[in-house]
Structure 1
């Protein structure tokens, strides 16, 4: 009998039967659940193309066994925008600052940026952002736009939080 895990993926609670205990979260998302925004780059945890949020923290989904995540809340790029279709501030900032070229790494870059901001690690220092995003590679070299996008999104989200508190 195959084990069943329970995951909340992009706000939807799912019971998923695991037919191979070695299946990674990346392969589960892409091949079983058709959430193909998460990309398979190196499949070794070195490029960041597979970055998703698990319980609010960024991880390389290619390195995580799906079976080990029973009960977790997972957010992929498909679940980042608001239900009404409004872009997340990080997505909007990536567009505004040309934080992508070919687009292959963009979902992982965006998810990593969201995690970096949520973890309180972005700040307002470009070098700090570059260091925090260093696990995500961009073969096209869009790093300047990515850094500007993260800084803008951090400022936008911080201002939004200040307004809510007032």
Structure 2
């Protein structure tokens, strides 16, 4: 009886170790962004010239430059916990939202800035997301956290300053 009990206990322990040692199926997609020291480095990785904003709202400073090989450049400007992310990507066959912003906003409209039609989204009169195309490129500006947003005038100045 003692041998049977010991054998059953051993089987239970082996099964529990096997169950605990199984690999979890938490497969994650690797981060495609490469950190860059300069905008020039990002342009070389992405394969195109970047038209970044010259005007950023007061208090925000350039913090991170990143690129995806042959595809996209992003510049992140920080002000404390708040961020503004500028992205530029090559336009494909379809116009896609490159912002990475999946929040839902109460306000959405299309405004005209020069020759550009810009879709802006936000809440409470503040703009948290702008998306537009120009030539062979898609551009986006996203403010996070989304509930903060920036004044529409500041967003327009940023877009106008992209050369």
TM-score w.r.t. structure 2 length?
0.31
Tell me which of the two structures has the higher relative contact order, counting C-alpha pairs closer than 8 angstroms and 6 or more residues apart: 1
Q: Which has the larger radius of gyration?
A: 2
Structure with the higher fraction of residues in strand conformation:
2
Structure with the higher fraction of residues in helix conformation:
1
TM-score w.r.t. structure 1 length?
0.31
